[in-house]
Chain A
């Protein structure tokens, strides 16, 4: 299977704990995106990488959130000092240059903060 994969699929944590999610994009895709989706809403953009460079960050991405893509392949999204409001589905997507921005999404990581 050569689609976008995300790990873990589900994460339950207590408020104040740190969590880290991983995304593996489609291998030939150089662009990688993180989105967050809450109930009844569409995905909301968080941040975007082209290769290893983080090119844009949403104002939704507070200083408790950090994302990396160290070698231009997989990416990690870390949330420090989690809050109940961080509970959401975190989606990763990838695309390639010249693809007319057709982004392919992974299955998501569902985060529940107790």
Chain B
């Protein structure tokens, strides 16, 4: 069973506009959520995270929103830049465990 789901395999956005990547989860025990970016032939790179006690966390152009009642989180990138083109993974971890459960990823393409 897929506990973390990213239903959009790809997203194409024009440079300067907002990119919104979505993620849904099913396990109510998850208490920490992270977004990673991955370029080809590289390992995932940590972007931003959010604890379940918050509903928003912002870091520069990146903002993550968490809606616990809907078991949904989203990553907003604004303004989008061509260098943001990569695969983005949503991940979650549960109380007292450290393993990360990843979604299947969304490929973001930012075009000029």
Taking Cβ atoms with an 8 Å cutoff, the residues of A that contact B are 4, 31, 33, 35, 40-45, 48, 55-56, 58, 91, 93, 95, 100-108
Q: State whether A4 and B43 are in contact (beta carbons under 8 Å apart), knowing that A42-B89, A100-B49 are contacts in the complex.
A: yes
Tell yes or no: B63 within 8 A of A by CB.
no
What are the residues of chain B within 8 A of A102 when measuring CB–CB? 34, 46, 49
CB distance from B105 to the nearest CB of A (A): 6
Using CB atoms, name the residue of chain A closest to B97: A56
Taking Cβ atoms with an 8 Å cutoff, the residues of B that contact A are 4, 32, 34, 36, 41-46, 49, 51, 89, 91, 93, 97-105
What are the residues of chain A within 8 A of B34 when measuring CB–CB? 101-102
B93 and A101 contacting across the interface, CB-CB below 8 Å = yes
CB distance from A75 to the nearest CB of B (A): 15
CB distance from A111 to the nearest CB of B (A): 14
CB distance from B39 to the nearest CB of A (A): 10
Top 10 A-B pairs, shortest CB-CB distance: A42-B102, A105-B43, A45-B99, A105-B44, A107-B43, A43-B102, A42-B89, A101-B93, A106-B43, A108-B43
